[in-house]
Amino acid sequence: MTRPSRKQLIDWDRRYLWHPFTQMQEWKQEEPLIIERGKGSYLIDTEGNKYFDGTSSIWVNLHGHRHPVLDRALKTQLDKIAHSTFLGLSNPPAIELARELIRIAPKGLSRVFYSDNGSTAVEIALKMAVQYWQQRRPEAGPKHSFLHLKLAYHGDTIGAVSVGNIDLFHSRFKPLLFPTMEAEPPYCYRCPLNLIYPSCRMACIDPIEQILKNHHRELAGFIIEPLMQAAAGMIMQPAGYLQRIRELCTKYDVLLIADEVATGFGRTGRMFACEHEGVTPDLMAISKGLTGGYMPLAVTLTTDEIYRGFLGTYDEFKTFFHGHSFTGNPLGCSVALANLQVFRQEKTLSRLSSKIKLLTRWLSPMAEMPNVGDIRQCGFMVGIELVTDKRTKEPFPLSAKVGHRVASIARTKGLILRPIGNVLVLLPPLSTSAEELKKMLEILKESVETLHIG
């Protein structure tokens, strides 16, 4: 079969495709970048041009592209079977992976429920929470609502959107959503209480406690991204915040749901962000880095206490009636097992520590740039907020497309970025070398300087 030319691929893309989170009218006016291959920290287009993968292909790639251990795991499993149903059957990779995940998860999480992406992992956690209260603790009352932070993003399915709060993404779908309660996030750079950390003593938690105190009888759970609200613009929580939320959820008998889809698998410097404060949630959603960026796979982890709430005789119908065609997919589970193997063999987390310190040091000079308002870093997760005025913190209008313009310049210099509005986001693969990391930061700095914004 004759290989299509680049021109033909562009034509077919524009004629047939609809890209996510993309204004297609503008897409058709721009020259699309078509990625054909990858190697290590690089993406390679159809013309052979190399680019640093500064987003880890939207936060999923951990050990670099074409890692031999992950490649081999996928090929080996493919020689056995690609998929068989998980309804009424099981398979070795899914069983082995569940055991390994429980070994590394926060202590107390002991059950694994598979799905296929972060949104569905969150959706499952919400449904589990509601059904748990009905079956295990009916005396607790009709606990069927949820508390979440403003600016939250937990996925794009209806339940996940219901506990989200990014108007640009979610406002059009409000007629489809169920009602929830929300609280201000700890956005220290733009504190809604006009206080300064740490002298504020995390006063933003006081309204959360008030909500829990007043509404705990109807709240099934409080969902939160531990340490970092990623899609909100890399908004970091101050030290001790997550631990305090855990204490309040326990005090008021509300389940804590940790969305570790973005923060899990080493992104914050630990395997899971919850570990930084010794927190065990009641339910935890993971995906993205679970397979090292190779296959769509997700997991909802929970405790034996919640699991037991679903046990009963056949005719009691306490079963969790939820599932997906590709639940427990052997290919995904096999490569996820290999992903954890690479963590162990290459000592990924211990080697990451020194690179996190280098990243902090190389980011520091950017704080002095006239349009850099705030730099937020948690491990290998970075958000750089651009402003028109450092003193007033006045943001650029979204119509100025400042983040997009910086990313476009960076691409010409060999770095792929995906900004969130005015926030430049850098999430390189954990395997990125110190030399590669330094080059990424140099390109990022040059791109902001070249733009001449302000």
pLDDT at site 11:
96
Residues sharing a CB contact under 8 Å with residue 255, sequence separation 6 or more, in sequence order: 129, 132, 220, 221, 222, 249, 282, 283, 306
The H or E element that residue 185 is part of is none
Domains and CATH numbers, the chain: 33-63+347-451 (3.90.1150.10), 72-345 (3.40.640.10)
Decide: helix, strand or coil at residue 19. Answer: coil
Checking if the pLDDT of 4 tops 70, the result is yes
CB atoms under 10 Å from CB of 347, counted, come to 10
Residues sharing a CB contact under 8 Å with residue 448, sequence separation 6 or more, in sequence order: 366, 369, 371, 372, 384, 386, 406, 424
pLDDT at site 31:
86
**Dmax (CA) of the chain:** 68
Decide: helix, strand or coil at residue 297. Answer: coil
Phi-psi region of 311 (alpha: psi -120 to 50; beta: other; left: phi over 0): beta
What integer is the mean pLDDT of 53-69? 98
Q: What is the pLDDT of residues 323-359, one digit of tens each?
A: 999 999 999 999 999 999 999 999 999 999 999 999 9
- What does the H/E/C string look like for 102-149? HHHCCCCEEEEEEECCHHHHHHHHHHHHHHHHHHCCHHHCCCCEEEEE
Checking if the pLDDT of 74 tops 80, the result is yes
Q: Which residues of 30-49 are buried (b: 16+ CB within 10 A; e: fewer)?
A: eeeeebeebebbbbeebeee
**Taking the alpha carbons of 106, 112, 117, 118 in that order, is the dihedral positive or negative?**
negative
Residue 235, strand partner residues: 229
Residue 113, strand partner residues: 300
Compute the distance between CA of residue 290 and CA of residue 265 in angstroms, rounded to an integer: 7
Q: What is the pLDDT of residues 381-425, one digit of tens each?
A: 999 999 999 999 999 998 999 999 999 999 999 999 999 999 999
Q: Let me know: does 245 contact 254? Beta carbons within 8 Å.
A: no
pLDDT at site 397:
94
Checking if the pLDDT of 204 tops 60, the result is yes
Checking if the pLDDT of 202 tops 80, the result is yes
Using CA atoms of 223, 227, 230, 235 in order, give the dihedral in degrees to the nearest 10. 110
Compute the distance between CA of residue 11 and CA of residue 28 in angstroms, rounded to an integer: 9
> Roughly what angle, to the nearest 10 degrees, separates helices 92-104 and 330-345?
40
**Taking the alpha carbons of 339, 343, 346, 349 in that order, is the dihedral positive or negative?**
positive
pLDDT at site 451:
78
Q: Let me know: does 76 contact 334? Beta carbons within 8 Å.
A: yes
Burial class of residue 195 in the structure, from the number of CB atoms within 10 Å of its CB (0-12 exposed, 13-18 middle, 19+ buried): middle
Compute the distance between CA of residue 253 and CA of residue 255 in angstroms, rounded to an integer: 7
- What does the H/E/C string look like for 53-114? ECCHHHHCCCCCECCHHHHHHHHHHHCCCCCCCCCCCCCHHHHHHHHHHHHHCCCCEEEEEE
pLDDT at site 168:
87
Checking if the pLDDT of 220 tops 90, the result is yes
Q: Let me know: does 179 contact 220? Beta carbons within 8 Å.
A: no
Checking if the pLDDT of 452 tops 90, the result is no
What integer is the mean pLDDT of 78-93? 97
Q: What is the pLDDT of residues 139-159, one digit of tens each?
A: 877 899 999 999 999 999 999
Q: What is the pTM of this model?
A: 0.97
Chain Cα centroid distance, residue 14:
29
Compute the distance between CA of residue 343 and CA of residue 85 in angstroms, rounded to an integer: 29
pLDDT at site 30:
87
Structure tokens at 193: 């209480």
pLDDT at site 25:
94
Q: What radius of gyration, in Å, describes the C-alpha atoms of the chain?
A: 22
Mean predicted lDDT score pLDDT of the chain: 96
Percent residues over pLDDT 70 in the chain: 100
Percent residues over pLDDT 90 in the chain: 95
CB atoms under 10 Å from CB of 206, counted, come to 11
What integer is the mean pLDDT of 296-306? 98
pLDDT at site 454:
57
What integer is the mean pLDDT of 439-450? 96
